[in-house]
Structure 1
C-alpha cells in the first residue's frame, strides 16, 4: 500500500472529516518533531507512516463493534501512539493507552493535550500490572508481549463481550498455535491490509 493509497483508504472507509484530517496531520507533525529527541518509530517506516502506522492502526476499527460511543478501548504498550492515538482521533471510543516508559508517557500526554482530545483519550502511565481492573469493550496491542503473556496479563479486563484485536505480523498463526486448544478457539486470523504476509488475531472471550 502506497502513501496515496493509504490516504484514499482512510477517506473511503473512515469518512474522515477536515477536522479529523487536521488532527491526524498535527499528530504526525508532532511525532516527527519528537523523533529528534527520542526513537518513537523506525526511520525506515517514517517514510511510509500513513500506510505502516496510520492505516495499520485504523484498520482495527473494521473488526471492532461499529458504535464506539460510551465504549472503552484499552490499548496496551501504546508507545508512539499506534494504534491508540489513531483510534482516539478517528472514532468515538474512549481510548485508554497503557505505556510504562517515561519519555513516551510524556509524549502521549502532550499529544492528547495538543490535539484537544482529553475527553476521549487517557494515558495510564504505568505497567499494566499496576492498572486497576475494570471492564473494557476492546483490547488491542500492537507490539506489547508474546501472545500467551499478553492474554495472561490483560484477561482481567475482559468480559464475555470484549473484542481482542492483536496485530501479530507474520507470526500470527504461529503464536495462535502456541495457545491451549480452549484459547485457540477464541481467535481467528484476519489478513492485514497493509502487509499481505501479516495477520491480525481477532478474538472474543
Structure 2
C-alpha cells in the first residue's frame, strides 16, 4: 500500500516512459495554478497530489496490457486518469470524454502544450459521442456502475477491458448489478487507499 508522497512518486515513475515523470511534474504545477481558477480537484487533495491523483490514476496501468488499442476515458474532468496516463505513456491512443466547457479547454490546452498527438478530447456528453469500438474503458467518479454500463456498453466488444476506480462503493455497486454484469467483473484493492477498490472486467454486457 502506498502511504507517502515519496512512495507515490516512485510508483508513478516506474509506470512512465523516460520523460513521463518530467511531463507529470509540469502538469502538477499547472494543476495547482488552474485549480485557483476552477475547482478541478479539492484544494486539500493537492497536499497529497502524487498519492491522491497521480499514482491513483497510474495504478490503472497495472490492469492493462502494454500493447493495446484505443482507450476511452469517461468524464475526464481534470484529466484523471486519462490525461495522466497519456502524459506517462504518450504512445497510447486515448480519447477523453468531457462535457464541461472550461474542463474541455483545460484538457485541450494540456494536450497541445505537451504534444500528445495520440490523445484527443470529445467535448460532449457521452450520449452524444459517436459510437466506436475501443479496447479500454475507464471512468473515475463518473457515474454509478449501472448507469455507466447503460451509457457505455455501445463502445465495448467481447475483448474490451473495463477498469473502473470506484472508491469505497465498488463491491456494493457490483453486488447491485444483474448477474450478467457481475459475471464480467472482479474487485481489486486500490494501491493508494486501503478503503478503496477498482472494478476490473472484460467483455460486453449481455443478458443472454
Q: Normalised by the size of structure 1, how large is the TM-score?
A: 0.95
Report the alpha carbon displacement of residue 93 of structure 1 after superposing the two structures with TM.
Answer: 1.6
Tell me, yes or no, if the aligned pair for 2:165 and 2:198 is still in contact at 8 Å. Answer: yes
Report the alpha carbon displacement of residue 16 of structure 1 after superposing the two structures with TM.
Answer: 4.3
Tell me, yes or no, if the aligned pair for 2:138 and 2:163 is still in contact at 8 Å. Answer: yes
Report the alpha carbon displacement of residue 66 of structure 1 after superposing the two structures with TM.
Answer: 2.3
**Deviation above 3 Å: which 4+ runs of structure 1?**
none
Q: Secondary structure at the match of 1:140?
A: strand
> Is 2:4 the counterpart of 1:2?
yes
Report the alpha carbon displacement of residue 59 of structure 1 after superposing the two structures with TM.
Answer: 0.3
**Match among 71, 74, 92 for residue 73 of structure 1:** 71
Q: Which residue of 1 aligns with 2:104?
A: 105
Q: Secondary structure at the match of 1:47?
A: helix
> Is 2:34 the counterpart of 1:43?
no
What is the alpha-carbon root mean square deviation over aligned residues?
Answer: 1.0
Distance in 1 separating the partners of 2:17 and 2:93: 18
Distance in 2 separating the partners of 1:163 and 1:15: 21
- Provide, for residues 118-176 of structure 1, a one-character-per-residue CA deviation record: whole Å limited to 9, x for no partner: x1110000000110000000000001101000000000000011000000001000000
Question: Please, which runs of 5 or more residues in structure 2 have no aligned partner?
Answer: 204-208
Q: Which residue of 1 aligns with 2:80?
A: 82
Report the alpha carbon displacement of residue 49 of structure 1 after superposing the two structures with TM.
Answer: 0.6
**Match among 124, 127, 143 for residue 126 of structure 1:** 124
Q: How does 1:54-203 map to 2 (within 5 A)?
A: 54-68=54-68, 71-91=69-89, 92-117=91-116, 119-203=117-201
- Provide, for residues 56-92 of structure 1, a one-character-per-residue CA deviation record: whole Å limited to 9, x for no partner: 0000000012213xx1110000000000111111223
Range with greater deviation from structure 2 (152-161 or 23-32): 23-32
Q: Secondary structure at the match of 1:200?
A: strand
Tell me, yes or no, if the aligned pair for 2:56 and 2:191 is still in contact at 8 Å. Answer: yes
Alignment size in residue pairs: 200
